[in-house]
Amino acid sequence: MNRINLYLFFILMISANTVYAQFGAKGGLNLSKMESYGNLEEGEREGFKAGFQGGMFYKFNVSDMFNLMIELNYERRGTVSKKEYSIEDINPITGLVEFQINQEANSTYTYVNLPILALFGEGNLKGYIGPNIGYLVSGKADFKRTVEASSAGNIIDSEQTDLKLDWQDYNSFRNILPSSSEEDGFLNSLDFGINLGAMYYLGGGFIVDLRVSQCLADVTNNHYDYSLYPKDDNTTFPSREDTDRNLSIQLGLGYFF
C-alpha cells in the first residue's frame, strides 16, 4: 500500500469513527394554509386547516454539537379560502340591483417533501434549520359560491354553486377561474421553502419534533390571479399577480431504529 492509499485509508477510518448514521420514522399533525402575503383584498380571508404528515429520516451524527438529517415526508396540507364582495348593476325593469357574492374553497394539498436539515445543540434538545423541496401529488377542493341579488333592500333572486375541484385539471375549475392564456393547472407542481424547528430526545429512541415550514416560492399559477373587484364595466376583473405561499406548523413524534 503506497503513501496516498494509506493516507486515504486513514481518513476513511477517522470518518467512520466520527460520523455514524441513524435511521428513523415519524408521524404527526400539522396546521397549514396558503397565504397571500400583503396581497389580500378587502373581503378576502385565508384560514388554517388541520392535516397529517409522516415519513422517514436518516440522521448523520457528525459531532455532539452538529448533525445532518435528510427526510422524506408525505404531508397532507390545505387551506380554507373565503371571499366576499358585491357588484352593482342597472336593470331596466327593477332599477339598481346589488349582487352579493360569497364563496369558499376548502382545499387539500398532498405533497411529498424532501427536507435537508442542519441540527445544532448539545444534549437532548436540538434546534435545526434547512431547505425543503416539495412536489405536489394532488390538490382537491370543495367549492361553494352563493350569489344573492337584491333591489331596494329586497332579495329578488339567489343562486348557489357547489363543485368538487381538482386544481391540477383545468376543466375542473374553468367556469370559476377562466385562464388568461394556457389551460394548465392552478397550482405549480414544485414548492421550495425553509424549515425551522427543534426536536427533543425523550429516551428509548423516541423524539418529539416541532417545526414551522415556510414556502418561499409562489405556489399558484399567475394565469389565474384576478382581483376580487371588477373594473368599471362590472364584467371584467383585472389581473393581480400576487404571491401565494404555503405555511405549515407541524408537531410530530419520531423513533430511531
In this prediction, residue 220 carries a pLDDT of: 86
Higher pLDDT, 221 or 194: 194
Residue 65 lies in a domain: yes
Residue 74 has pLDDT above 50, yes or no: yes
Q: Give which of 162, 166, 149, 173 is closest to 223, Cα–Cα.
A: 173
Residue 34 lies in a domain: yes
- Total domain count for the chain? 1
In this prediction, residue 206 carries a pLDDT of: 96
State how far the Cα of 93 lies from the Cα of 112, in Å rounded to an integer. Answer: 56
Higher pLDDT, 129 or 204: 129
Phi, psi of 57, deg, nearest 5: -145, 160
Residue 117 lies in a domain: yes
What pLDDT band is residue 11 in, cutting at 50, 70 and 90?
very low
State how far the Cα of 207 lies from the Cα of 211, in Å rounded to an integer. Answer: 13
Residue 72 lies in a domain: yes
Buried (b) or exposed (e) across 194-219, using 16+ Cβ within 10 A?
A: ebebebeeeeeeebebebebbbeebb
In this prediction, residue 243 carries a pLDDT of: 84
Contact, 69 vs 88, CB < 8 A? no
Residue 16 lies in a domain: no
Residue 8 lies in a domain: no
What pLDDT band is residue 2 in, cutting at 50, 70 and 90?
low
Q: What is the dihedral of CA 126, 213, 78, 33, to 10 degrees?
A: 120
Residue 113 lies in a domain: yes
Residue 138 has pLDDT above 80, yes or no: yes
Domain that includes residue 147, residue range: 21-256
Residue in the block written with cell 385562464: 179
What's the CATH code of the domain at 170? 2.40.160.20
Per-residue pLDDT of 145-169, as tens digits, reads 999 988 877 888 889 989 999 999 9
In this prediction, residue 29 carries a pLDDT of: 96
In this prediction, residue 35 carries a pLDDT of: 83
Residue in the block written with cell 442542519: 118
Listed in sequence order, the residues at least 6 apart from 242 whose beta carbon sits closer than 8 Å to its beta carbon are 36, 39, 225
- What type of residue sits at position 212? V
pTM (2 decimals)?
A: 0.82
Residue 15 has pLDDT above 70, yes or no: no
Residue 46 lies in a domain: yes
Q: Grid coordinates in use for 5?
A: 492509499
